[in-house]
Structure 1
Amino acid sequence: MTHGVRGRAVRWFGPKDLRLETVHLPHPGAGEVLVRVAWCGVCGSDLHEIADGPHAIPVDRPHPLSGAVAPLTLGHEFAGEVAATGPGVADLPVGAPVAVEPNYRCGRCRACREGRTEVCAAFGFAGLMGDGGMAEYALLPAYMVHRLPDGFDLAVAAVLEPAAVALHGLRRSTFAAGQTAVVVGLGPVGLLVCALLREAGAGLVVGVDPVPARRELARRFGADAVLEPDADVAGTVEDLTGGDRAHVAFEVVGSQPAVDTALASLRSGGELLLLGLVERLVLPAFDMVNAELRITTSVGYRDCHPELIRLVTAGRLDLAALVSDVVTLADAPAVLLDLAAGARIAGKLLVDCRDTS
């Protein structure tokens, strides 16, 4: 494979302009790994770029770490097998199963020197700021690639990335075992927050979402109670806790109403953990100060994949239950355009990137 490979890839050219193209990837250079992709998940950020981007995709100048500029290959939730490695890459033999932690980091800025690579000054994701994994092959920096135990389900491995978002959010919060938590937004990351709260010993987990299928799925992921957002969430949480309300509320939507619901569910001294992305919020500062409420934010992840791999291998975290739909690489552009236009699924959509021709 000295001259690299050719393979199909789903490429973003502009809003509502996705194309399945054949691209050439060179043989890996120093510190690089060529991955033969098996499965790639679809994220809400992908759909935002398809609907009305660019939001994160570089179009005017290349990203400083990836060097990429649109058009580029989508997909940052993916897993596969090592196809080739460049000089200086150890412990990743050809054929080894791998999961991808797709965040770029420079290693030089203050955040990186402090170990906070998720907020690197040149932060970005392969699949958004550089070519990603909705393709038959992906060429990546070796630091993104985690070797998996032999026999690890690669479809499950593609869900490790959103699980890392959930785990990092949980780690950023002040949650402790035995406490009550509310999760507002039961998309894939919200469901995974529920599962990880249960694994961490939550006393009570309450999920909130308008979609019945997601509320039902939340019960499988550890929610003790599930509510519609237009229900009296705060009153119900108060009843369930004997008047105490929640210690931590996770907002996983990125909207003013979701934030309002999350804040209203908190006890005095409670914490709002923001995982959803929203440009601006209006906060009830007077009430928050008088109740000494805290707000914590969380973005991306760092050092989460090893723990998640251990949890899955030990049978303590069921990521397979999150997958509700599967589509082939050839059919992915049409399906993604439908989802970007408003079609809904209950859980996680995976793209089968394996060459079945």
Structure 2
Amino acid sequence: MVAKQTMKTLQIFGAEHADLIEVPIPEPGPGELLVQVKEVATCPQWDLHIYYGRPMFAHEQAVAFPYSPGQPGHEMAGIVAAAGPGCTLKAGQKVAAWRDAGHHRAGCYAQYVVMKEEHLLPIPEHVPFRKAVSLELGMCVAASVMKLKQFEGIRGRRCGVNGLGPAGLIAVQMLLAEGAAEVIGLDPNPQRRELAIQLGATYCCEPESEELAKRGKPGALDLAIDCVGYPQAVRNIMDRTNTAVALFAVQRDDYTLRHQGLSVIGYPGHFREAAEYALALIVNGKLDFEPLISCELPLAEYSRGVEMLRRQEAVKICFIPGE
């Protein structure tokens, strides 16, 4: 009997307790692909919540440990190593994940991962993995941007982005790609404000700054995207926006609509069209995830990386499972 080849994958066994384990390389079933993971990026919200044992959503009571191997890794780019029956993508093709399989399936903090073909998009050969690794987050933000564009139009408008973490920095780039006249970023972290300016933001300020006028006054925002999610932050951006606020961030508490005539656009959910929209921006050079990656680490240093996220010493970290 021939022994199965093995690989290394991360598993979080309990709060602040993560280790690499060795498991057999999985085999793809019908409609599935085995992907050799070349790069996998942190999703700070997920990583910080799960690693420190805090539920991601308000309705959840506790994190069930040990967590599924490879999870919560889901922002991944790699190469198809093998294709199951019925697949159209072939071995050797470069791909990026656009949809998280869910914590009940093995995740991408691993040297190999099996994913449904429908949750992957092929990326052109000339596009580096680093520039496509966070396609899943790009899809998420694109869903809000596309909704805002559909309801209110973005071209020529004065737009704001509340919160300049990874999602907010992607939103800055997408709003500019859609022809916004100005994009103003709000964040208390000066390094993140500076990064947003490097990515094209008109200017950035602290959330309570008087640089940004209140709604109804000259200099207020036309449109905004909230990437923070906390009630006070949402109230603050509503107070500075005349027309519409898109709520992207995970909602943990109830919000109160403070102003008559202000439209609030809820999150529309995940869909492939948004992933294809984000990928087209990447290919056309209008969306770049690489500046969001603060450093590269081997997967064995996952705990160190999450601690860097907690201290806001990094925006995102790219792990290399093969090292």
Regarding TM over 0.5, the answer is yes
- 2:99 pairs with one of 82, 94, 102: 102
> SS of the counterpart of 2:303?
helix
Q: Which position in structure 2 is the counterpart of 1:292?
A: 261
Match of 1:150, SS state, is coil
The within-5 A match list for 1:126-145 is 128-145=103-120
Moved over 6 A (4+): 56-61, 236-239
- 2:35 maps to a residue whose letter is V
Distance 1:238 1:325, change over 3 A: farther
In 2, Cα distance between the equivalents of 1:4 and 1:146?
A: 28
Deviation at 1:191, TM superposition (A): 0.6
Q: Distance in 1 between matches of 2:4 and 2:202?
A: 51
Kindly indicate whether the alpha-carbon contact (under 8 Å) linking 1:209 and 1:227 is maintained by their aligned counterparts in 2. Answer: yes
Q: Would you say the 8 A contact 1:12–1:72 is kept in 2? A: yes
Aligned with 2:196 (options 192, 195, 218): 218
Amino acid at match of 1:16: E
Gap regions ≥5 residues in structure 2: none
Aligned partner (choices 82, 85, 91) of residue 84 of structure 1: 82
Matches within 5 A, 1:223-302: 223-232=201-210, 234-235=212-213, 243=218, 245-267=220-242, 270-283=243-256, 285=257, 287-288=258-259, 291-298=260-267, 300-302=269-271
Aligned equivalent of 1:159, options 134, 145, 162? 134
User: Which residue of 2 is the match for residue 121 of structure 1?
Assistant: none
Matched with 2:320 is 352
Does the C-alpha gap of structure 1 residues 264 and 7 become closer, same or farther in structure 2, counting only changes over 3 Å? same
Aligned Cα RMSD in Å? 2.6
Distance in 2, matches of 1:220 and 1:189, equals 16
With structure 1 as the length reference, what TM-score do the two structures score? 0.80
Q: 1:314 aligns with which of 257, 281, 284?
A: 284
Q: Matched residue of 1:327: which SS?
A: strand
Contact 1:89-1:142 within 8 A present in 2 as well: yes
- 1:183-235 superposed Cα distances (whole Å, 9 cap, x missing partner): 11000110110000001000111100011110000012221010012312542
Q: Secondary structure in 1 aligned to 2:300?
A: coil
When structure 1 is superposed on structure 2, of 305-314 and 43-52 the one drifting more is 305-314
Deviation at 1:165, TM superposition (A): 1.6
Which of 302, 310, 322 aligns to 1:332? It is 302
1:204 maps to what in 2?
Answer: 182
What letter is aligned with 1:273?
Answer: A
Q: TM-score, normalised by structure 2?
A: 0.88
Distance in 1, Cα, partners of 2:157 & 2:200? 14
Distance 1:347 1:70 in 2: 24
Identity %: 26
